[in-house]
Amino acid sequence: MRVVVCSPQVPFATGGAELLAENLTAELRRRDHDVDLVTMPFKWYPGTRVLTSALLWRLADLEEADGRPIELVIATKFPSYAVRHPNKVVWLVHQFRQAYELDGTELGQFGPDVGDRATRRAVHRLDDAALGEARALFAISQNVADRLRNSNGLEAEVLPPPPQELDYRFEENGRFVLSVGRLDRAKRVDLLLRAAAADTSFDVVVAGDGADRVRLEDLARELGLDSRVRFAGRVDDEELARLYATCLAVYYAPVDEDFGFVPYEAFLSEKTVVTTRDAGGPLEIVTDRQTGVVCEPDPAAIAKAVTWLGAHPDEARAWARSGKELAARLSWDTVVDRLLGS
Q: Residues in the site for another protein, rule: CB under 8 A?
A: 47-49, 51-52, 54-55, 58-59, 82, 84, 113-122, 124-126, 128-130
The CA–CA distances, whole Å, from 253 to 77, 117, 196 equal: 21, 30, 15
CA distance 162 to 158: 13
Q: Which residues contact 154 (CB under 8 A, 6 or more apart)?
A: 128, 131, 132, 137, 148
Query: Within a 10 A sphere around the Cβ of 248, how many other Cβ atoms?
Result: 23
Closer residue to another protein, CB minimum distance, 82 or 134: 82
Smallest gap from residue 134 Cβ to another protein (A): 13
Q: How far is 240 from 121, CA to CA, in rounded Å? A: 41
| Order of strands across the sheet that contains 88-92 | 34-41, 2-9, 72-75, 88-92, 136-139, 157-158
Q: Which is nearer to another protein, 53 or 269 (CB)?
A: 53
Q: Which is nearer to another protein, 69 or 115 (CB)?
A: 115
Q: What is the smallest separation between the CB atom of 53 and another protein, expressed in angstroms?
A: 10
d(CA 145, CA 138): 8
* Residue 51 or 145 with smaller CB distance to another protein: 51
- Using CA atoms, how far residue 215 sits from 13, 184, 204, in Å, is 17, 10, 16
Rounded to the nearest whole angstrom, what is the least distance from the CB of residue 125 to another protein in the complex? Answer: 4
**Residue 93 CB, nearest approach to another protein (Å):** 20
- Cα–Cα distance measured from residue 7 to residue 90, given in angstroms and rounded to the nearest whole number: 11
Provide, rounded to whole angstroms, the least separation between the CB of residue 82 and another protein: 6
Q: What is the enclosing helix (H) or strand (E) of 302?
A: helix 299-311
Of 129 and 300, the one with the shorter C-beta distance to another protein is 129
Q: Using the minimum distance from each CB to another protein, give the nearer residue, 120 or 271.
A: 120
Q: Whole-number minimum distance, CB 116 to another protein, in Å?
A: 8
| 3-class secondary-structure state, position 207 | strand
